[in-house]
Amino acid sequence: MFNGGSKIPIKDENEGSPWNGTGAIVFNGDFVDRGENSVGVILTLLLLKIAYPNNVYLNRGNHEDAILSTVYGFTDEIQARYGKGECDSTDDIWDAMGDLFSVLPLCVRTDTAAIMHGGIPSDGFQLSELESITTEQRSRIRSMLDPGDDAICELVQNVLWSDPRTEHGIHPNEDRGAGIFFGPDVTHRFLTDHGLKYLIRSHEVVDEGFHCMKCSEENSAITVFSSVNYPNGEGCNYGAVINICSDGTLAPVRFRGYEVGSIRSHNEYFNRTMSYLVEMISQNKSKLLSAFEKKAETKTLITTKEWADILSSQLDLHEVDWLSLQPYLAPIVTEGLEGENVEMIDFMKFLSLHCNLLSNAIDECDGETMETLRQNHVLLLTVFKFLDTNGNGLIIGMNSELE
C-alpha cells in the first residue's frame, strides 16, 4: 500500500507479531536526520521490509526529502561512508535514496486508526484524495519545500508537515513555514467520516514520548515520537511506541536512552534539559506569542508568574519549575520600573532571544553551522546575557578592543 485507505492486520499486543505474520509494524517517517547512523537505520528498515513485505510498513516523513535531508547531515553521512577513493558511489546512492523517498507510503489505515507522519492536510480531507495519487505522480515529488501551484505536491506537503493544536479550525503553520495547524474539531470530523477512533502521527518531539489530544468522547489525535533525547542526544525526552490492540485500544510504551545516573555531570544533564526546553519554545513561538499578548496589560510586559503559567500550559510541561529556570531563560525588566514590587518580563525580547535569532539565521547559514548554533544555544545565551549589561536585549556600542 503506497497511499492510504487499505487496511492492515493488527492483532492483540500480547499475541500478534509482525515477525510471525500475525501482526504488523508501522515506522512513521523521519528515518534519517534524527541522529547518527541514518544510513544504518534506513538500510535496516529496508531489509525488514524485504524480509516481511506484508507486515512492515514505512511511511514517508518530511525528512524523507531530497533537499531537506541535505541540510541535516544525511548526505554528509553517505559521503563519509561511500565517497572515498576511486569507488565513489555517493551520487548513485543519493539518487537511489531520492527515488525511494518519493514513493514511500503517505498513510496507513487500520480498523481504528489512520497513521500518517504530520497529520490532516485540510478541513474536510478524505483518504481517497491520497489513494487517487498515482505512483508516477508521487515519484515526481522528490522535495516538498517548494510545492508551488502543484495541488498534489501541496497535499503531500501538508500531510507530512502539519501539526495538531487545541484551537479549533485550521490555521497556517507559521512555526514551520509549511503545513497547517489543525484543531480537534477538524480531527473529529475526519475520524468520524472514516469510522476511526485515532489519528496517530509523529513529526514533533514530546517530552513523555507520546501525547494525546482529546477531540471528543470517541476519538483522539495521538503524537508518538521514538527518538530519545532529541536532538542529537542533547535533550531529555522519552521515546515511545504505540501498540494497537485487537479490541481497538491503544497501549503506549515509553523508554529512555540512558539513566540519569549515567550522565557525566550535573552540568551535562542541565544543558541537555535547557537545550530541549529552548527547542520547545522555538517550535511553539506563535502559540506562546498569542498567549502572552492576551495576558499582557502593559505593552509587552507580563509578570514572572504569568510567564511561567503560560509556558507550563502552552507547552504542556506542567512538571517543569519554570520560575526556577527563569534566570536562565528570561531576563527581568528593570528599566523604567522603579518602585515596582512585581518582577516583569518583556515577552517580545524573550521570544526574540530564543526564536528569532536562530530563525533569521537559517537562510544565511549552511546546515552544519545552523546545527552548531542550536546545539550551543545555552552557551551562546549565557554569553549574550553577560554582554547585555543593561538587560534591554541588545548589544550595541561595543568597542573593537576588549578592555
Q: Are strands 250-255 and 239-244 parallel, antiparallel or unpaired?
A: antiparallel
Do the beta carbons of residue 142 and residue 98 sit within 8 Å? yes
Q: At what angle do helices 367-375 and 377-387 cross, to 10 degrees?
A: 70
Neighbours of 296 (CB within 10 A): 17
Q: Which long-range contacts (CB under 8 A, 24 or more apart) does 375-379 make?
A: 375/231, 375/232, 375/234, 375/275, 377/275, 377/278, 378/271, 378/274, 378/275, 378/278, 378/328
Catalytic, 63? Answer yes
Half-sphere exposure of 244 (CA within 13 A, CB side): 26
**Exposed e or buried b per residue across 24-39, where buried means at least 16 C-beta atoms within 10 angstroms of its C-beta:** bbbbbbbbbbbbeebb
Neighbours of 87 (CB within 10 A): 7
Cell numbers at 255, concatenated: 523508554
Residue 76's contacts (CB-CB under 8 Å, 6 or more residues apart) are: 368
What percent of the residues of the chain are helix, what percent strand, and what percent coil, each to the nearest 5?
Answer: 40, 15, 45
The span from the CA of 239 to the CA of 227, in Å, is 5
Residues taking part in catalysis: 63
